[in-house]
């Protein structure tokens, strides 16, 4: 019988396995701690939505919708109808849909956060994959600039919790729709005067989404983009006051930032405050977190209009930055490793191990091949490799006396002592990690 070809993962969609998965768990635990400190509560939405949610919410001429979404037509129902569906390319639109659908703002604003996979069909590169992961924080139902600032302070608190220092904050204001329309007309007029300098992407966007030309990554167009009319110069008094109030909170908290008039973000739903946290440590993929205010998105997707602001970070990029900065992430290890010379002792051994786990002790049991458990030497070698602080030795003499031997593995003493199998609760606390 011929061997079947091996099936491998889809390009750009990666397995996350131990020991790397421990870094993900550590990051997620830190996120939960920081979110709890700001009273943000977890929300979980489907990874698949109606395509219309993203075309209406993100904008039909955004790169995500035009080029990157995984979209398909579902199977027809008995009436011959079929839904157009997409894997979510980002988290905000789905969360907003859920908030509107379930009337979550009926009793006031909500602070929410999410974690999960997103999907975009783009060229895989360092820290950027076709299945990637985002963590997002969203405050819905709040119009004040203090909540914009709170979201930024939340992100800064997370960087501090993680031990990250190689980042900078960039700010801008996109104003309100009428101010953007005025700026849009000025942009189009400016770029039409320099049509011979526009690349293919810029020409395509000129009359559909000229603001995105300012965010060009083409070095040949940087000077042209720098000289373009600035949206910040078209802001009215209310927009300026909102932006100044955000900055005042950041200043009061000692948060350094740079105003970047070319910062526009890649999605159509933003207004007023936008921001990005950027690092120099990851090459071209420098943005690790970005967001802003999106007061019109809930209404755009058919809900009752309400203000909102939020951000999302790329998990893979943050993990890359942790590694670049040399942040030490603790790897989980068992408190104890069970050394079992004789397989016939397994029923009594496993009863003891279950009692230890009930007391909160993490125990790894040695498992042999077939009926043999392996030599004591090989078992101690595995015990040492496990990282456990203690070995639990279930020898025949110990078991006959209703005991086991505790052997220290990490303090250099190799000290041993006998303890009673009948009094697990009395000595279990000695085994627990003190880290």
Give the three-class secondary structure for 94.
helix
Whether residues 57 and 86 share a domain: the answer is yes
Contact present, 95 and 45 (Cβ < 8 Å): yes
Give the three-class secondary structure for 310.
strand
Mean pLDDT score of the chain? 90
* pLDDT at 348 > cutoff 60: yes
Helix 20-37 with 145-162: angle, nearest 10 deg: 140
Question: What global pTM score does this model have?
Answer: 0.87
Q: Which helix (H) or strand (E) holds 404?
A: strand 403-408
CATH number at residue 345: 3.40.50.800
Q: What is the number of domains present in the chain?
A: 2
Which residues span the domain enclosing 102?
20-175+235-324
* pLDDT at 160 > cutoff 70: yes
Q: Which helix (H) or strand (E) holds 21?
A: helix 20-37
Q: Which of 264, 291, 324 is the last residue of a domain?
A: 324
Contact present, 282 and 318 (Cβ < 8 Å): no
Burial letters 366-386, b for 16+ CB under 10 A, else e = beeeeeebbeeeebbebbeeb
How far is residue 246's CA from residue 248's CA, in Å, rounded to a whole number?
A: 5
* pLDDT at 208 > cutoff 90: no
Dump pLDDT digits (tens) for 83-112: 889 999 999 999 999 999 999 999 999 999
pLDDT grade for 192, boundaries at 50, 70 and 90: confident
Does the residue 67 lie in any domain? yes
CATH number at residue 130: 3.30.930.10
Rounded average pLDDT over 367-380: 77
Contact present, 164 and 316 (Cβ < 8 Å): no
Whether residues 288 and 411 share a domain: the answer is no
């Amino acid at each position: 019988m011929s061997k079947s070809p091996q099936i491998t993962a889809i390009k750009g969609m990666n397995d996350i396995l131990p020991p790397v998965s421990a870094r993900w768990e550590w990051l997620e635990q830190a996120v939960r701690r920081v979110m709890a400190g700001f009273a943000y509560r977890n929300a979980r939405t489907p990874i698949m939505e109606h395509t219309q949610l993203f075309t209406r919410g993100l904008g039909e001429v955004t790169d995500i919708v035009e080029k990157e979404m995984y979209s398909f037509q579902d199977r027809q129902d008995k009436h011959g109808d079929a839904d157009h569906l997409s894997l979510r390319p980002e988290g905000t639109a789905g969360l907003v849909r859920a908030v509107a659908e379930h009337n979550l703002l009926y009793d006031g604003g909500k602070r929410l956060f999410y974690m999960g996979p997103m999907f975009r069909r783009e060229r895989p590169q360092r820290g950027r994959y076709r299945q990637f992961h985002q963590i997002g924080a969203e405050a819905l139902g709040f119009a004040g600039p203090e909540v914009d600032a709170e979201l930024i302070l939340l992100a800064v608190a997370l960087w501090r919790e993680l031990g990250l220092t190689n980042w900078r904050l960039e700010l801008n204001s996109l104003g309100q729709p009428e101010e953007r329309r005025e700026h849009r007309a000025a942009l189009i007029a400016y770029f039409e005067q320099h049509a011979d300098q526009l690349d293919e992407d810029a020409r395509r966007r000129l009359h559909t989404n000229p603001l995105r030309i300012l965010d060009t990554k083409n070095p040949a167009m940087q000077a042209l983009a720098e000289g373009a009319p600035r949206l910040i110069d078209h802001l009215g008094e209310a927009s300026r006051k909102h932006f100044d109030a955000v900055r005042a909170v950041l200043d009061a908290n000692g948060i350094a930032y740079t105003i970047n008039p070319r910062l526009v973000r890649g999605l159509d739903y933003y207004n007023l405050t936008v921001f990005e946290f950027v690092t120099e440590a990851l090459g071209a993929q420098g943005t690790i977190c970005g967001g802003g205010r999106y007061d019109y998105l809930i209404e755009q997707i058919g809900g009752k209009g309400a203000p909102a602001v939020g951000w999302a970070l790329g998990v893979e990029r943050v993990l890359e930055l942790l590694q670049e900065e040399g942040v030490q992430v603790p790897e989980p290890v068992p408190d104890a490793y069970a050394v079992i010379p004789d397989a016939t002792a397994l029923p009594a051994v496993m009863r003891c191990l279950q009692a230890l786990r009930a007391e909160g002790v993490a125990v790894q049991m040695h498992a042999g091949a077939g009926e043999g458990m392996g030599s004591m030497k090989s078992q101690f070698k595995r015990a040492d490799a496990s990282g456990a602080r203690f070995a639990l030795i279930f020898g025949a003499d110990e078991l006959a006396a209703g005991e086991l031997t505790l052997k220290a593995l990490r303090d250099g003493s190799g000290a041993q002592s006998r303890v009673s199998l009948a009094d697990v609760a009395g000595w279990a606390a000695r085994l627990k990690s003190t880290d």
